[in-house]
Structures are given as structure tokens and as C-alpha cells.
Chains A and B, each alone.
Chain A
Amino acid sequence: MFQIRVHGRGGQGVVTAAEMLSVAAFGEGKYALAFPSFGSERMGAPVMAFCRISGQPIRSREPVVTPDALIIQDPTLLHQADLFRGLAPHGFVLINSTREFVDLGLQDLLDKLPAEHAFTVPAAEIARKHVGKPLPNAALLGAFAAATQQLRLESVLDAIRGRFSGRVGEANVEAAKEAYAHILLCQREAVHAEAN
């Protein structure tokens, strides 16, 4: 079982992100359960959504309390005390930001996790370039595929196309691809840095 928690704000496609993750997993023949943290949906209010992926049918309906991966769509949520709560020691963190972990005041978190388990992704910028709006969800899903290796990029792209048709879909696909490439680049740089 691989468990993901997505944090963001109302209007950023947090629930859609979790749904697309589950559709991508389904496309690979896995079982997946995606659900929102139910509440009054308001633009700008903090929102969470969850996704579980497994080779077996998923029965538990409790919210994800010990995530294997955290996707943070809005860096203005980083001050929330419980944002990283329950994160598995081997967990992954993806944050939509143009800044590095140290600049976000998260060096401690970076040090606690295994190498190459935490990345910042300029997802809003990537989305603005391709989609014309700073909606970071599709890009972060591309980054998720690259960072965690839990899903193939193709499955994620298919899920995005399934959710958004036509030009919007293709624009989001491009955003996901660019974020995927961004993570691969970060990983290569990390390997070189270690070699040096």
C-alpha cells in the first residue's frame, strides 16, 4: 500500500490531483482509492485529498495519517504545524515552489528523509507556461511519477487526458512532462554532486 496526501487550497485542483493519481494507478491494473477531506468547499481555504494505491482491494476508509508521499500544492501552507504529520521516515515530499528547501526553512525535513526523496518543483510556473494558469496539480503529478517511481509517466498523462479533454488536456500533459524532466534533472545533478 502506498499512501499519498495532497495539500493545497480550494480552487487549485487538489481533489482532482488525488483522483487523477487513482485513475493512473487503475490504468496500471492496481487498486486505488481517492477521496477528499470533506468540507465546505471554498476558494482559497486549505484543502486536503488522499489517495491509496495497492495491489490488493483497499478497505480502509480512514484519512491518510501516515503518508508515503506528500504533495504540497501551495507553499503558503508550509507554516501549518501539522502539514508533515505522520510522514513515513522513507517518505517523499514534493512542494510547489521555485525556492530550495533551505530557503523555505525546511532543511531539517530534508536532512531527515533519504536522499532524493524531497523536491521543490516550480509547478505553478510550469503550469503558467503551458496552461496559462498557475494551476500546479498536473505538473506535480508528473513530478510524483519521476520522484516516487510508483506510477509510469504514461499512466499519469493518460489520467490527465481522461480528466481534461482537448487543448487543456494537452497543455496539462506538457506541464506534467516538464515537471517529470525537472525531477530527472535534479536526480542527475544529485548523483553528480555526490560523485564530486
Chain B
Amino acid sequence: MLRQIEGSRAVAETVAKCRPGVICAYPITPQTHIVEGLSEMQRRGELGQCEFINVESEFAALSVAIGSSAAGARTYTATSSQGLLFMAEAVYNAAGLGLPIVMTIGNRAIGAPINIWNDHSDSMALRDAGWIQLFAADNQEAADLHIQAYRLAEELSCPVMVCMDGFILTHAVERVDVPTQQQVDAYLPPYEPRQILDPAEPVSMGAMVGPEAFTEVKYLQHDKMLRALELIPQLAVEFFQRFGRDSGGLLRPYRSQDAATVVVALGSVNGTIQEVVDEMREQGHSIGALGICSYRPLPADALRRALKNAQRVVVVEKDLALGAGGIVGADMQSVLYGLGTRVHTVIAGLGGRTITRKSLRSLFEKAQQGDLPDLTFLDLARDLVDRQIERELQCRRSGPTAENILKDLGVTTGRIH
């Protein structure tokens, strides 16, 4: 049913319709509304046999999820930011054990400095842990991806993160067609585990594997991720047939086929980018956009095909590999190797910095004119940076960076806007 609804609420109601058997989560902004919503539904008895387990930390949340998934229950959890890092060890374990847990990430920056706002640093930090990572462009897709995620996770026996921009999506109220129970049931069959802890037929999971077989077990994990590249588009097609709308898939091309410049991005910023693309197209610019929905596995062949006509690619990414540069940008360099395509990386939206149409527009125009460097920090306040560097040159005890910068800005704490 079409509703005007908060993103978190839409996700909670959609997850509920996936009939989870166990939900265990620890609240952390901006994911909190999702698990609060689910816990209320569970308390009201709306989730059937589902058990909601209160835990003391994110590490416990995913550890419980591993246990319940191994016991054969369809399992859900959600987290953000430091919460994801705190569960990092269990994140690798869930993937290594091949447990089809679905976890929502309400994407948020990683401290220090403390920052509760949106960027992609959290899920990027764990991009190579063996979880499939799907990025939602809007709240309709955020909701829909959860249904597809369970199909994908359970068919492959592999965990899936559904990444949605914290606040920008989780706290946005917009139109979402929240699917009915019948629709979800028709698409998502009951969970049939590939492996299960069952007292009647005891097995052990989590064996120690030495050098004789570790590579093979890891290779099979990698191979499974690559098989997801075939399954993800199939599931999206089937989803379209059942639900009548496009959600998921590997990539989301937008006016990019014949474009000289193609902007590549993950998540909700694609909407703003498409607006700018339309504006610039109207004025005769040859520009398009390509959203990446499946970031892990990285759809290398599909990306190469989608970008083969582009002269230049501008990657707008909400993360930073400190001491290296872009993360998605580096992926694109490797994917496009040998095609002669110029790849520009733009670090944008860190810690909730607004990505405005105006800034994107001037960035893309620069790229079109060939004036964009390989690596750009969108709207970086160079004067603030220079002042701190100068301070460090002038004085040994220059003090804490974050506090110095805030003092220069004349604020005592992070500003709301």
C-alpha cells in the first residue's frame, strides 16, 4: 500500500513481513527507529513466532545472530557506525560460516572526531569481510532490498548488508509502497538452511582450518560472492514481475549510455546527481550517471560494459581511505584498466557535509572542461586546513586538531547544519 512514511518505519514493516524468526539488535543512531519499530511490533504479537532478543552491545547482537542463524532461524539485525566496527570480528565470522543474516546499515561516519552524521565510512570499513553489500538509492528501494536480500542470502548461504544513508533516508518521510504479506510470501519462501545445528543430527560448525585448506575455504567464499553477480539481477527481474517496480539489480544507469562524462555514486546522492544531470543535459552537456547498487560483489564486467563509451568517470564517494584516497575510485580504476578512461575521485559528504546541487554542478562542469584533478575534496575549506597546518609548523604543542578547527570556526561543538 502506498504510504507517506519514515524510511526507518518502512524498513521495519518490510522486515516484519519477511517473517524473521530472531531479531537481535542494539540501538545506535541513526538505525534506532528501525529496531524500535520492530520491537514494538514484536511486543504487540504482530511478528508471530519471532523472538526479539535484547543484548548488551553490537558485538553481542551479531554473535546472537550467528547463533540463531546457525540454529536455522531467519535472522535480522541492524547497526551503524561504531556499532558496526564493534561487531567487526563477528561480521567476518558470520560470512566465513556462510550464515544468511540480513543486516541493515544506517550509514554514518566513524569517529574520531565524534560525529553522528551520514557518510559511508562504516560499511566501507567492512566491505571485504564477505558480506554482500547493497546500497539503496531511496526509501522504496531500501524497503524492497530487504526482501531481495533474504532471497539472495538464503539461496547462497551468505550474509547481506542493506546499506541506507543514515538520516538522509532513515529519517526522511516520503512515499513508499509498503508490500503486503501476500506479496512478500509469494516472493520469499520459508528459509531452508543449507546447514543447521540440530540435536537430532549433530554437526559442528566453525572448525579450525589450517594452511592445508584455508585458501580453499576462502576461495569458495569468494566464488559464492561472484555467483551473487548472476543472482542479483535475476532476483531484481523477478521482483519487478511480482511487485511491478524496479528495485535492486547491480547497477542503475541514468542517461549514461552516450555520455562523455559519467558520474558514479552509491546511495541516496544519486537522486541529487540525476537532478544535476538533467539540468546539464538541457544545456547540451554530454553527461549521465551510474548508481552502484551491488557494491560487494563488485560487478566489474557490468561496470566495464556500462562505462565503455565514457571518456571520463567522476566517482562521488562518501568515504576516504586515509593515506590513499578514494575507495570506489580505486575500484573504478581497476575495473576500467586498459580502456583509457580518465577516473576522477571526489570525496564528498563526509560526516554529513551537505552535497549541494550547486557544488556538484560546478564539479561536473570542471570535469567536462578537463580541469578536475584526479582527487578532489568537495567544498573543502582550504583556509581552515591551512591555518591548522601553519599552527603545527609554528608551535610544537599545537593542541588537538578538532578543537582547534572548531575554535577557528567560532563554535564550541558540532553545528546542526
Contacts and interface: CB of A to CB of B under 8 A. Distances in A.
B356 A37 contact: no
Contacts of A19: 6, 173
A36 B30 CA distance: 12
Given A35-B168, A48-B416, A62 B173 contact: no
A122 B354 CA distance: 34
Nearest to B116: A40
A24 B414 CA distance: 33
Nearest to B278: A59
B275 A59 contact: yes
Contact of B175 (A32, A38, A60, A61): A32
A34 interface: yes
A109 interface: no
A45 interface: yes
Contacts of B352: 38
A57 B177 CA distance: 13
A13 B414 CA distance: 22
A33 interface: yes
B354 A58 contact: no
Contacts of B168: 35, 38, 61
Contacts of A36: 167, 171
B272 interface: yes
B172 A33 contact: yes
Interface residues of B, number: 29
A170 to B, nearest CB: 21
Given A31-B175, A58-B174, A60-B272, A37 B417 contact: yes
Contacts of A35: 167-168, 171-173
A63 interface: yes
Contact of A34 (B172, B272, B355): B172
Contact of A38 (B118, B269, B274, B357): B118
B59 interface: no
A124 to B, nearest CB: 23
A31 B140 CA distance: 13
Nearest to A24: B4
A39 interface: yes
A23 interface: yes
Interface in A11-65: 18-19, 22-23, 25-27, 31-40, 45-48, 57-63, 65
B416 A47 contact: yes
Interface string B327-361: 00000000000000000000000001011110000
Contacts of B269: 61
Given A19-B173, A26-B175, A33-B173, A61 B268 contact: yes
A25 B173 CA distance: 12
Contacts of B175: 26, 31-32, 57
A61 B173 contact: no
A18 B269 CA distance: 21
A61 B137 CA distance: 11
B4 A32 contact: yes
Contacts of A18: 173
Nearest to B137: A59
Contacts of A45: 416
Contacts of A34: 172-174
Interface string A158-182: 0000000000000000000000000
A129 to B, nearest CB: 29
B275 A38 contact: no
A26 B173 CA distance: 11
A23 B118 contact: no
Nearest to A39: B416
Interface string B164-183: 00011001111100000000
Contacts of B172: 33-35, 61
Contact of B174 (A32, A37, A38, A62): A32
A194 to B, nearest CB: 39
Given A33-B174, A35-B168, A35-B173, A60 B4 contact: no
B125 to A, nearest CB: 21
Nearest to A57: B175
Interface in A60-113: 60-63, 65
A61 B30 CA distance: 17
Nearest to B271: A59
Contacts of B356: 62, 65
Nearest to B359: A62
Given A37-B416, A61-B272, A62-B356, A23 B4 contact: yes
A62 B4 contact: no
Interface string B1-22: 0011010000000000000000
A26 B4 contact: yes
A48 B416 CA distance: 9
6 contacts: A26-B3, A39-B415, A58-B271, A59-B271, A60-B357, A65-B356
Interface of A: 18-19, 22-23, 25-27, 31-40, 45-48, 57-63, 65
The 3 closest A-B pairs by CB, nearest first: A39-B416, A59-B271, A26-B4
Given A18-B173, A39-B416, A45-B416, 10 more contacts: A26-B3, A32-B4, A37-B417, A38-B117, A46-B416, A57-B175, A58-B174, A58-B271, A59-B271, A61-B172
Interface of B: 3-4, 6, 30, 116-118, 167-168, 171-175, 268-269, 271-272, 274-275, 352, 354-357, 414-417
